[in-house]
């Protein structure tokens, strides 16, 4: 039977049973003798000194007394019966609702657990063919389409970024060769320099897309990684850029072991440090803190609105603009990559704007290791 039919049959049967019980209680209350009994007036009617009017008056009083007692018994038994029937209806209704809505709760729980990384999970389909089984099947079909769409998107990004690397490298090499050629005129040098800068920006965009695709595939390894040691390696890689921009570096790195993919964690740290350097103030500073399975990167910079932070983890979002390539050569993929890698490692990332401008990024990894 369908859910509609089952509910109709259930509540119809419940109404029939409770109505029968209520009528039974009323009938028993009417035809049963009262607990104390009505005082027997028979001895009054054996008296010979009573007139017919007196006998009628006595009978009338006895009838009124019996009617009053019956009314009280009806009220009492009806109240008890209604209370009992209400409890029965509430209990049976709650049981029926819990039984019928169990598949709906399963669908809701599955939807809350799902993300783009575990779309392979499916909702159990009830054995009976009804509206709830159709809901589960429809939800599973939707998950299949979403899984295919995300997989196709990841394949496209990975393939496109891989195929674009070759032509961009060739463009950059040709520009370098032209610039190295002795005796070139000023116009050619200016053109080759512009082509080289465009190729560098395109290369950064392609590398960001490749990192995003790589992070979306999830960890390829699960080993113990010293987050502090890995952070030092990444900071050494960016030491030259820190010096060129006149930035002051402050670190507090305590050894902390986490489980994860060293390659993806290196990409996460590299993106956070690069963003903090790129979107910093001239002569500013950079603070990096590692302790208790937590990584924090803080830097001054442009003022950010609170509502804008929720969008920064989306691709091609950056600060208050949404351009593909900004003046610093960024592609707006850094925090999207960070967000994807943290999800893959079951970590949490929080973004908090500083009062005087800039950003504080905090990544908290699971404590198990």
Place of tokens 């929080």: 350
Into how many domains does the chain fold? 2
pTM: 0.49
Judge whether 70 lies within some domain. Answer: yes
94 burial (CB, 10 Å; 0-12 / 13-18 / 19+) is: exposed
Q: Are 295 and 363 in contact (CB under 8 A)?
A: yes
Query: What is the spatial distance between Cα 97 and Cα 10, in angstroms, rounded to a whole number?
Result: 11
Judge whether 138 lies within some domain. Answer: no
- The CATH number assigned to the domain holding 277 equals 3.30.565.10
pLDDT for residue 330: 45
DSSP for 149-176 reads HHHHHHHHHHHHHHHHHHHHHHHHHHHH
Judge whether 256 lies within some domain. Answer: yes
Q: What does the angle CA 185 – CA 186 – CA 189 come to, to the nearest 5 degrees?
A: 90
Query: Which among 113, 145, 179 is the end of a domain?
Result: 113
Place of tokens 């039984």: 99
Judge whether 199 lies within some domain. Answer: no
**Cross-strand partners of 214:** none
Judge whether 104 lies within some domain. Answer: yes
Query: What is the spatial distance between Cα 278 and Cα 358, in angstroms, rounded to a whole number?
Result: 11
Distances (CA, A) of 127 to 97, 130, 171, 237, 254: 18, 9, 61, 59, 55
pLDDT for residue 218: 59
Query: What is the spatial distance between Cα 227 and Cα 290, in angstroms, rounded to a whole number?
Result: 7
Query: What is the spatial distance between Cα 139 and Cα 28, in angstroms, rounded to a whole number?
Result: 54
Q: Residue 22: give the domain boundaries.
A: 3-113
Judge whether 187 lies within some domain. Answer: no
Query: What is the spatial distance between Cα 217 and Cα 121, in angstroms, rounded to a whole number?
Result: 16
Query: Which among 94, 113, 132 is the end of a domain?
Result: 113
pLDDT for residue 296: 95
Beta strands per DSSP E along the chain: 223-226, 248-253, 257-260, 285-291, 294-299, 348-353, 359-364
Judge whether 141 lies within some domain. Answer: no
pLDDT for residue 328: 47
pLDDT by position in tens, the chain (length 369): 666 777 777 777 878 787 787 777 777 766 665 544 445 555 555 556 667 777 778 778 877 777 777 777 777 777 777 788 778 878 877 787 777 777 777 777 777 777 655 677 777 777 777 777 788 888 888 888 888 887 777 777 677 767 777 788 888 888 888 888 887 888 888 888 888 877 876 776 676 666 666 666 556 567 889 999 999 999 998 898 898 889 999 999 999 999 888 878 888 898 899 889 988 888 899 999 999 999 999 999 887 766 556 555 554 454 444 444 444 444 456 677 788 888 878 898 888 888 888 889 999 998 865
Judge whether 147 lies within some domain. Answer: no
Query: Which among 92, 113, 134 is the end of a domain?
Result: 113
């Amino acid at each position: 039977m369908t859910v509609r039919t089952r509910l109709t049959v259930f509540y119809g049967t419940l109404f029939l049973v409770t109505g029968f019980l209520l009528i039974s209680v009323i009938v028993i209350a009417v035809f049963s003798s009262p607990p104390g009994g009505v005082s027997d007036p028979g001895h009054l009617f054996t008296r010979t000194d009573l007139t017919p009017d007196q006998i009628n008056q006595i009978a009338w009083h006895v009838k009124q007394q019996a009617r009053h007692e019956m009314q009280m018994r009806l009220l009492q038994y009806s109240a008890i019966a209604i209370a009992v029937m209400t409890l029965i209806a509430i209990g049976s209704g709650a049981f029926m609702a819990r039984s019928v809505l169990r598949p709906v709760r399963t669908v809701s729980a599955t939807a809350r657990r799902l993300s783009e990384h575990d779309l392979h999970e499916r909702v159990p389909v009830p054995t009976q063919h009804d509206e709830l089984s159709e809901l589960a099947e429809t939800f599973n079909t939707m998950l299949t389409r979403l899984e295919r769409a995300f997989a196709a998107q990841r394949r496209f990004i990975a393939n496109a970024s891989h195929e674009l690397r070759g032509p961009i490298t060739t463009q950059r090499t040709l520009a370098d060769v032209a610039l190295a050629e002795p005796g070139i005129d000023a116009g050619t040098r200016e053109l080759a320099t512009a082509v080289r800068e465009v190729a560098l920006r395109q290369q950064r965009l392609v590398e960001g897309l490749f990192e995003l695709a790589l992070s979306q595939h999830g960890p390829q390894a699960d080993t113990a990684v010293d987050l502090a040691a890995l952070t030092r390696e990444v900071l050494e890689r960016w030491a030259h850029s820190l010096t060129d921009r006149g930035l002051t570096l402050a670190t507090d790195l305590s050894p902390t072991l986490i489980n994860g993919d060293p390659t993806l964690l290196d990409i996460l740290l590299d993106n956070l440090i690069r963003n903090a350097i790129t979107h910093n103030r001239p002569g500013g500073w950079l603070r990096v803190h590692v302790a208790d399975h937590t990584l924090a990167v803080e830097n001054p910079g442009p003022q950010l609105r609170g509502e804008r932070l929720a969008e920064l983890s989306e691709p091609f979002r950056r600060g208050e603009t949404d351009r593909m390539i900004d003046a610093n050569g960024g592609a707006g993929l850094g925090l999207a990559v960070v967000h994807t890698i943290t999800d893959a490692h079951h970590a949490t990332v929080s973004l908090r704007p500083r009062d005087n401008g800039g950003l504080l990024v905090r990544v908290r990894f699971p404590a198990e290791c």
